[in-house]
Amino acid sequence: MDNRVEKFLLISIDCWRYDALSRTNPTLCTPKFDLVTQDFSFADRFFVTAPATRPSHTSLFTGLYPFEHGLYGQTYLKMFDQIQNLFQIFDQAGYRTLARSQRPDVFRFLDFESYITLLDPNAKQQHLGSLENFLEALKSPEESPQFCFLHLWYTHGGYGMGGVRSSPNLQQLVHQGKTEEALQFYYAAATHVLEFMLVEILKSLPLDEWAIFIFGDHGEGFCDEVMAHGDNLHQNVIRVPLLVNIPKIGQLVFPEDAPVSMIDLFPTILNLAELNINYNGYGRDLLGDPGEFQDRWVLTELDSLYGVGFLKPSNLETAHNRITSRLKIDDQEIPMDPKGRRLWTMTNGKIFYRENEQDGDYIVRDVASGIDLPCEDPATFKLKYDELLINSRYQHFQHQETSNEEAEILENRLRNLGYID
């Protein structure tokens, strides 16, 4: 029996929290979405590789961690060179590629930027735009193999509250201990995306023909430790939903309590399409041996050395030929943020360890409850992290172009492992 899949749809919901889904939060009312996705598989321990849109999506499309693809943080300009991505792979394999976003400029200067266009080019405001053109493009031509991507921005930032009279300051509500009240506005935005936008898309497709992956590119804090995302590796930010529909195979059983990473989608999708490429990353095929997920630790990285926000408007208007490296415009390095920092997290799905590389501060936390745990030996976690860096088959990319700060951090890692004196 031929299980090759020829139609793929990846749906990325920006800032989609783990609890913004009825499967994890019964108070969320999305009856239509629940019906349409009732046969979808759900990964309970799905973790992103970065708390920001640009590096997270780059991991999705390359199957690599940020330290491997070079986009360490949101404000880094480019990836390392010579890294293949899903759009290029499927394009070269003869697939029709279709990619739409409510905010395509977030992918500016990345290798796959040219594939992604506005969801509705006729709408002055994308959240008021129509899905009609995208739906028509999805269904035509029906016979050709397709690789499709949709990026939704409605749950990002303002949560659709712009212009609403007397709308409260959500950050103030959180600081006043009224987190549940603040979250209701966020849940309303998530409900709109699921119950209206995604239902219209999913009900129009023959699900027995399409491999569909619905996921968050990162979550959203809504707590005292972090309000939004991008500047912290809180569990509300790095653990997100993943729903999967795979035709001809049925329910996908995810290993209980074992972590699934954003980089796992890359080899899984290529395997479903039966496309053989030279991939040596840490991503694991979700249809492979479940035993490979046991005793596994996955990585999430945060780098705000050059800021935590989006690219400056002046950078967005810069011509591509002026971007001379990951960190330089016209051979001039973009300014560093004096408050910038680097954090990393390793998790096995049950606990996660987070460390600040600058000052060595760390925490160990239970994934399910969010309760901090005692840690007598942080060196155990540091060793797992350093081994991940050293054993990467893509480590050579780091030598393409590295800032002084990055070089110092890499040197310290090697010294800690005993590779240099």
CATH number of 229's domain: 3.40.720.10
Helix-helix angle 53-62:265-272, to 10 degrees: 40
The residue-averaged pLDDT of 55-60 equals 97
d(CA 77, CA 320): 10
Per the domain annotation, does 285 fall within a domain? yes
**Cα-based torsion angle of the residue sequence 135, 137, 139, 141 in order, rounded to the nearest 10 degrees:** 170
Based on the fold, state whether residues 308 and 261 are members of the same structural domain. Answer: no
**Host domain of residue 165:** 7-293
Based on the fold, state whether residues 234 and 378 are members of the same structural domain. Answer: no
220 vs 167, residue with greater confidence:
220
Q: How confident is the model at residue 289 (pLDDT cuts 50, 70, 90)?
A: confident
Based on the fold, state whether residues 286 and 306 are members of the same structural domain. Answer: no
- Model pLDDT, residue 61: 98
Final residue in a domain of this structure, among 293, 326, 347: 293
Per the domain annotation, does 413 fall within a domain? no
- Model pLDDT, residue 94: 95
Based on the fold, state whether residues 285 and 304 are members of the same structural domain. Answer: no
Percent pLDDT > 70 in the chain is 91
Based on the fold, state whether residues 236 and 152 are members of the same structural domain. Answer: yes
Based on the fold, state whether residues 251 and 351 are members of the same structural domain. Answer: no
Per the domain annotation, does 398 fall within a domain? no
Q: How confident is the model at residue 417 (pLDDT cuts 50, 70, 90)?
A: very low
Based on the fold, state whether residues 101 and 245 are members of the same structural domain. Answer: yes
Based on the fold, state whether residues 233 and 306 are members of the same structural domain. Answer: no
Q: Rounded to two decimals, what is the model's pTM?
A: 0.92
- Please check the confidence at residue 127 and state whether its pLDDT lies above 80: no
- Please check the confidence at residue 219 and state whether its pLDDT lies above 50: yes
Q: Are 54 and 277 in contact (CB under 8 A)?
A: no
Final residue in a domain of this structure, among 250, 267, 293: 293
d(CA 59, CA 197): 25
Token pair, residue 352, equals 């996660």
Based on the fold, state whether residues 271 and 323 are members of the same structural domain. Answer: no
Q: Are 98 and 66 in contact (CB under 8 A)?
A: no
The residue-averaged pLDDT of 14-35 equals 95
Q: Are 348 and 296 in contact (CB under 8 A)?
A: yes
Long-range contacts for 416-420 (Cβ within 8 Å, ≥24 apart)? 416/382, 416/386, 417/383, 417/386, 417/387, 417/390, 419/390
Which of 284, 286, 287 has its CA nearest to residue 297?
284
Poorest-pLDDT segment among 165-179, 192-206, 250-264, 277-291: 165-179
Per the domain annotation, does 351 fall within a domain? yes
- Please check the confidence at residue 39 and state whether its pLDDT lies above 50: yes
Q: Residue 146: beta bridge partners?
A: 7, 96
226 vs 48, residue with greater confidence:
48
Based on the fold, state whether residues 210 and 276 are members of the same structural domain. Answer: yes
Question: What letter represents residue 53's amino acid?
Answer: T
Per the domain annotation, does 282 fall within a domain? yes
- Model pLDDT, residue 407: 55
Q: How confident is the model at residue 285 (pLDDT cuts 50, 70, 90)?
A: very high
Based on the fold, state whether residues 278 and 330 are members of the same structural domain. Answer: no
Total domain count, the chain: 2
Q: How confident is the model at residue 401 (pLDDT cuts 50, 70, 90)?
A: low
Beta 46-47 vs 260-261: how paired, if at all?
parallel
Q: What is the pLDDT of residues 130-150, one digit of tens each?
A: 898 899 988 877 778 999 999
- Model pLDDT, residue 37: 97
Based on the fold, state whether residues 142 and 275 are members of the same structural domain. Answer: yes
Per the domain annotation, does 70 fall within a domain? yes
Q: What is the pLDDT of residues 352-395, one digit of tens each?
A: 999 998 888 999 999 999 999 999 889 999 999 999 999 999 87
The residue-averaged pLDDT of 338-351 equals 92
- Model pLDDT, residue 311: 66
The residue-averaged pLDDT of 34-55 equals 96
- Please check the confidence at residue 1 and state whether its pLDDT lies above 50: no
The residue-averaged pLDDT of 21-34 equals 96
